[in-house]
Structure 1
């Protein structure tokens, strides 16, 4: 009986981690913390840094959203004028990473960070690289 109760609590705890966050501040312009589970165009440290994303004249938040939603496990969480937060959920463990995208002039600020855990094993950098390719293919970045 105790084992079943503990198992139920553990399962509920794990599924709670995969739920969307309703309120989260815009962190797109913030550098990453000290854990290796984040990458950003706004961080100047080599292991966290992403090369700039230079937008073309055709880019807008709607077309960027369309490209971002082709990434694995992606769904729109917040969409505002010039800002987009996409939640990317892993298939097996249902971990959620936040991909934040913000248009500033002719640049796209990109920040991808895991919500839980110390290391992401390179998942966020891979996602940012995939996004860059999708945006290039769509003619949205140079």
Structure 2
């Protein structure tokens, strides 16, 4: 009996290690979705999975409040960038006019999340979307990240 357990362990351990490496490799190499960006003042809708939040969503599971902002596009983008640089896991930020895209990766498995902001100066708000690239659930990581950004951004106004 002990011999069989030992043999099973010798077989399963390498298989699990290979699967784990494949899983991590897929997570790290996920490419930027084509659906990112702004179309007619709207960010892409969230998928049905609960791994996304969007200030323009109408359903409770995905909805999150936009950020309030005033000032020029350049000033607001600079403030947003400064706040995002204080959040763990930031990999990259790009800014194009009133649009900001940031990539975050998780500590352990290096899953990549995309955070987008669109500053609508006329409304005095920043529309925001944060979503995982892979998987079904994110254990509210994207919602928490947006709320951290909100606290940091609002603290700058004081």
* TM-score bracket, shorter-length normalisation: 0.7 to 0.9
1:48 pairs with one of 62, 67, 70: 62
In structure 2, the partner of 1:75 is 91
CA distance in 2, matches of 1:122, 1:23: 20
Task: Name the one with the larger helix percent.
Answer: 2
TM-score normalized with structure 1 length? 0.82
CA distance in 2, matches of 1:47, 1:104: 24
Aligned length: 139
Shift of 1:78: 2.7
Q: Are 2:105 and 1:94 aligned?
A: no
The answer for unaligned runs of 5 or more in structure 2 is 1-10
2:134 pairs with one of 100, 116, 129: 116
Shift of 1:12: 5.2
The answer for unaligned runs of 5 or more in structure 1 is none
TM-score normalized with structure 2 length? 0.75
Moved over 6 A (4+): 2-6
CA distance in 1, matches of 2:90, 2:109: 15
Q: Higher Cα Rg: structure 1 or 2? A: 2
Structure with more relative contact order (C-alpha pairs < 8 Å, separation 6 or more): 1
